[in-house]
Chain A
Amino acid sequence: MSSRPQRPAPALSLVADNETSAPHSEQRGNADRNLDWSICMALAQSGDREAYRGLLIEITPYIRSLAVRQLHNRADAEDVVQETLLTVHAVRQTYDPTRPFGPWLVALANRRIVDALRRGGRIGARETPFEEEHETFVPLAANYHDAAADGRTVQAAVERLPPGQREAIRMLKLEEMSLQEASRTSGTSVAALKVATHRAMKNLRKLFEHSGKPK
């Protein structure tokens, strides 16, 4: 690679002449965009960093739209966008300013999309991603029937405790308050809460042992 600036100017007028003769406004818009990108790339080749930044920012959503259309997956599409930007950077000397910029960019993007599709094919042949739709329902509790049953058993046992112990268990174990928070909320001393919790745990253990349920 050389650090010498390039010969973009005469060639760019060729692109302009060809493209601006398009009759329809949409074609004219595409032609203008293509011309802008050609100019920016030619400037980037000669070392103009601001033109290069503007070009990369402008082509990013375009590459993303190409990738999303083929991949149907936002995360993979973003990987393709970044890989395409890296390729554009690595091979920017292969762009000929006398030719339109669009086909050059699309060719690079397509190669990275094909790479991603191949990679996806290889991964898909060996792995199954575990996603939310593989669960029965989105709410977690709905998918853990055993845990839900255990929860109901514990709740029923707690209801059978004396009111002071029940309140201590609810605050300290179920709502996971600290002793100080529970003391402030209930107006009971910390020592009394500790005693109530200790007795409640003993009672619950007895209840489960008696009913044959696991601890």
Chain B
Amino acid sequence: MNTTPHLIDSLVADAAPVRPLRPPLERTLTWMLIAGFILTLLGISHGFRPDIDTCLRDPLFLTGLAGSFATAALAGGAAFTVSLPDRSRAWILLPLPALALWMASIGYQCLTDWIRVGPGGVQLGEAATCFSLVLLTSIPLWVAMLVMLRHVAFLRDPAAAIAATLAVAAVAASALSLFHNVGASAMVLIWNFGATAVLVLFGSVFWNRVSSWVNPR
């Protein structure tokens, strides 16, 4: 390894001007705008679920939807805040209340729909639609997160990765609630939890590697 003075020489030689990051709130709003844009495109191409009018009058549905949107916004804010080296790690707790609200509503909906529909009601076609919705929502949002948080690879901090993953999963869940038929509630539940778990695991395990691809040194 080089000596420290040599290292300083090479760092100074490589010191191109950089733009300081915008404040976390501003970056969260930018990311939410991207999420809103993607949801709008999905709404235009896929259409809302047939029973959307009924759903919008159901307090439980509205609570779950508000919970998932709030989780997305707060988890995004937490990700952009904890990704800064000098901010407290306690910001990671920011989305917890909204997450609790979202999880509680999903759990109740699942219970009632499971009893009503039963295991035989689960259709492969519904699952494929559901999964494609999760991917269509998640992939562009993941790419946006990776680009906006590319410096986190150098910090090797899993907190930002977990918060970012939660934000993406929450937007994906919101998309499922708006565009997917409630008749496949079991699949909705499985994909909600499954996609969240897979995204959180993937984000935690491979975040550094994936982030280093978009962040060449």
List the interface of chain A (C-beta within 8 A of B).
Answer: 1-7, 44-47, 49, 52-53, 56-57, 60, 78-79, 81-82, 85-87, 89-97, 99, 103-104, 107-108, 111, 115
B145 to chain A, nearest CB (A): 16
In the assembled complex, B19 has its CB within 8 A of some CB on chain A: yes
Task: Add 8 more A-B contacts to A56-B8, A111-B155 (CB < 8 A).
Answer: A6-B19, A44-B15, A45-B19, A49-B13, A85-B4, A93-B18, A93-B19, A103-B86
What residue in chain A is nearest B13 (Cβ atoms)?
A49
Contact of A91 among B7, B16, B17, B155 (CB under 8 A): B155
Alpha-carbon distance between A1 and B150 when the two chains are bound, in angstroms: 11
Given A2-B18, A93-B20, A108-B85; A53-B4 close (CB under 8 Å) = no
In the assembled complex, B113 has its CB within 8 A of some CB on chain A: no
Chain A residues with CB under 8 Å of B15's CB are 44, 47, 49, 52, 89
A94 to chain B, nearest CB (A): 5
Chain B residues with a Cβ closer than 8 Å to the other chain, count: 27
A3 & B17 in contact (Cβ 8 Å cutoff): yes
A57 & B19 in contact (Cβ 8 Å cutoff): no
A2 & B4 in contact (Cβ 8 Å cutoff): no
Query: Which of B4, B11, B155: most chain A Cβ within 10 A?
Result: B11
Closest 6 CB pairs of A and B: A47-B17, A104-B86, A107-B85, A93-B18, A2-B19, A90-B154
A interface footprint on B81-96 (CB within 8 Å = 1, 0 otherwise): 0011110000000000
Alpha-carbon distance between A90 and B215 when the two chains are bound, in angstroms: 10
A interface footprint on B139-167 (CB within 8 Å = 1, 0 otherwise): 00000000000010011110000000000
Chain A residues with CB under 8 Å of B23's CB are 96
Alpha-carbon distance between A45 and B217 when the two chains are bound, in angstroms: 17
A47 & B156 in contact (Cβ 8 Å cutoff): no
B50 to chain A, nearest CB (A): 47
Alpha-carbon distance between A100 and B84 when the two chains are bound, in angstroms: 13
Chain B residues with CB under 8 Å of A7's CB are 20
Contact of B151 among A3, A90, A96 (CB under 8 A): A90
